[in-house]
Amino acid sequence: MTDSPGASAILSQAFPHIQRFRGQTIVAKTGGRALADPELARQIAGDVVLMHSVGIRCVVVHGGGPQISEVLDRFGKETEFIEGHRVTDAESLEITRMVLVGKVNRDIVSEINRHGPIALGVSGEDAGLILAEQRHPELGFVGNVKAVNPHILERLLAEQLVPVVSTIGTDEAGQAYNINADVVAGAIAAAVDAAKLIYLTDVDGLLEDVSDPGSLTAKATDTQIEALIEQGSIRDGMLPKLEGCLTAVHGGVGSAHIVNAATPHSLLVAMTDQELGTTISRHQ
C-alpha cells in the first residue's frame, strides 16, 4: 500500500471502523480515470487488500471509459454519449469487450494480486451473472441490467476471493451488451446484500452547482435524489451513478457513497463515520 504522508494516520483512524464490517460485503466501483493513474490504482488495490485481510467480503466493479475511448480513437471510431451512456455499434461493442475484459480487468486483478493471490476476474457474461436487455435503440448495444444472478460471486466470496467484475452482460439469446458500470455496481450491490456501495470517481461528490466545488451535497436521501433526477437537475456521468445508488438503497444496501478517488485512501475513509463526498441512504 502507498506510504504517502499521513497514510499511517488515515489507516489507524479507519481501522476500528473497518473492523465493524467484518463478514459483510462491500461493493466498490472504480472508474477508468482513476485506474489510468498508476498511483491511484495501487492505492485502491491496497485498500481492497486491507479490507479483505480483516474479513470484509469485497466485490470490485470497474469501468474503463477513457481506455475504451483511446482504443476507439485508434480505430477511427467516433464516441458519442447520451445521458452518460456511450452509443455502441457492433464494432464498438467488440472493442469495448476487448478493452474491459481483456485489458482493464486483467490490470486490476494483477494489481490486487501483487499483495497475494486473492483476486479473480469475472465478466458479466460469465455463468449468467448479468442478464441484460437493450436500453434504447438509439444507443445500439447498450444494455440495462434486467437481473443479476449473484451465485458465482457468492461462491467466490465464500472461497475468500475478491471478484473483479467487468460490465458486459448478455440477453436471453446470448447477445452481448455494454452496460454502464455505475448502473451495474448498484444492481450487484443489491443482489449480494452489500452493507455499502462506494463509487470511487474523479469528482468530489454530488454538487448543487457543478461550477462551485463548495456546493457539495454531503448527505441525501433516495427521495431527494429522485426529485433532483425528475427535475432534470442531474446530467451526464452523474446520472448513472445516482441511478446505481437508488438501485442499491432500494435493494436493501445500507448506504451508497460517491467519493473522489484522489482523496488519500478514499475507499477506507468511506468506510468510517467521517464525512467524505456524498452519502445516500434510504428515507426512513
Domain annotation covers residue 226: yes
Q: Is residue 11 part of a domain?
A: no
Residue 232 within a domain: yes
Is the model's pLDDT at 173 over the cut of 50? yes
Averaged pLDDT for residues 117-125: 97
pLDDT digits (tens, 9 = 90+) for 221-241: 999 999 999 888 887 789 999
Structural domains counted in the chain: 1
Domain boundaries, position 217 = 22-281
Task: Show the DSSP H helices in the chain as ranges.
Answer: 7-19, 32-35, 38-53, 65-74, 90-99, 105-113, 151-158, 181-191, 222-231, 238-250, 266-269
Residue 208 lies in a domain: yes
pLDDT in the model for residue 85? 78
Q: In the predicted model, what is the mean pLDDT of residues 38-49?
A: 93
The SS3 call for residue 132 is: strand
- The verdict on residue 169 lying in a domain is yes
**Closest alpha carbon to 166 in 92, 57, 62, 244:** 62
Residue 223: inside a domain: yes
Distance of CA 227 to the CA centre of its chain: 23
- Asked if pLDDT for residue 3 goes beyond 60, the answer is no
Per-residue pLDDT band for 284 (boundaries 50, 70, 90) equals low
Instruction: Specify the pLDDT at position 1.
Output: 43
Measured on CA atoms in the order 140, 145, 147, 149, is the torsion positive or negative? positive
Q: What is the CATH number of the domain that holds 229?
A: 3.40.1160.10
Q: Give which of 260, 244, 255 is closest to 279, Cα–Cα.
A: 255
- Residue 2 confidence (pLDDT): 43
DSSP-derived 3-state class of residue 259: strand
Q: Has residue 207 got a pLDDT over 60?
A: yes
Split at pLDDT 50, 70, 90, the class of 4 is: very low
Asked, for residue 5, whether it belongs to a domain, the answer is no
